[in-house]
Amino acid sequence: MIRQILVYFNTRKDESCAQTLRIVRFLKEQGVSVFMDQERRALHPDLENLTSPLDEERKGNMDLAVVLGGDGTMIRCGHFLQGTGVPLIGINLGTLGYLTEIDPSNPEETLLKAIRGQFRVENRLMLEGSIGDDPTLYTAINDFVIHRDLLDGILTIRCHIGGHFLTEFHADGVIVSSPGGSTAYNYSAGGPILDPVSDNMILTPLCSHAIVDRSIVLGGGEALSFYIDGFTKGNRALFMADGDRYVDIPAKTWIHVRKSRWNFPLAKVSERSFYEIVQMKMRP
């Protein structure tokens, strides 16, 4: 039985907090203790009255996180809870919603199953990356992207796999995607779709002028290294994590990417297969 739940919502998709309050009140009626970060609690007086503040020490004590929003909101909550092992379940207020399985028109039935513990957890592979000798560690649930400055021409990137030289890309950039992120930017760039629980990474060049101009599916244990060799016009590239965090990269810089020590724990109530979901989402 689930006793403590974090509720995390997209403040732009539920500006009035009406949908969030509906969920919070339902959870409270089931005898669940509801927690929320202080920034969101402060958006509505009823949220402050009905929820308890969540601090860093309590994060790992949550039994479940209920997320209202789209896939981007799920990813932000995943980073917020990173390392705690708390599973996330999403109510879809977005568009495609590969990560958010609950229909917002009638979420109570599915949530009741989740409260009773009637869900399985998919521990999906995450990525981690570093830049040069900087000890800062970046993580990604969907993908890392190395991209030219938009005012630049072509970016030259040398790619190594497991310490062995693969190729030199002359391209707009490259994507390194997790299996769960294969339906995101990777797919839009022509990359393959993978089972989200597979132990793999995908390397997809962006508008490449190299001989290797197609995606490569790698084992999850591989280590990727990229050397930013030069630019045609500008003086920097961008390193992006999950399309949300950006770092400027100068020339003659190494970027290293590998499988993270952390997983993204996604709670699943539905018995629908991933491929049924893909077929439904991509239906014209």
The number of beta carbons lying within 10 Å of the beta carbon of residue 279 is 11
The number of beta carbons lying within 10 Å of the beta carbon of residue 276 is 11
Which H or E run includes 18?
helix 18-29
Residue 53 β-bridge partners: 36
DSSP state of 280: H
**37 given a catalytic annotation:** no
Residue 280 CA to residue 270 CA, distance in Å, equals: 14
Say which of 37, 46, 63, 71 is annotated catalytic: 71
Residue 69 β-bridge partners: 92
Count CA atoms within 13 Å of residue 31 on its CB side.
5
CB-based contacts of 22, cutoff 8 Å, min separation 6: none
Residue closest to 114 by CA, chosen among 281, 266, 272: 266
175, 204 in Cβ contact below 8 A? yes
Amino acid in position 227: Y
Residue closest to 91 by CA, chosen among 34, 10, 28: 10
Torsion of CA 106, 282, 220, 88, to 10 degrees: -10
Which H or E run includes 186?
helix 185-188
Q: What is the DSSP string of 200-214?
A: EEEEEEES--SS--S
Amino acid in position 233: K
Which residues are annotated as catalytic? 71
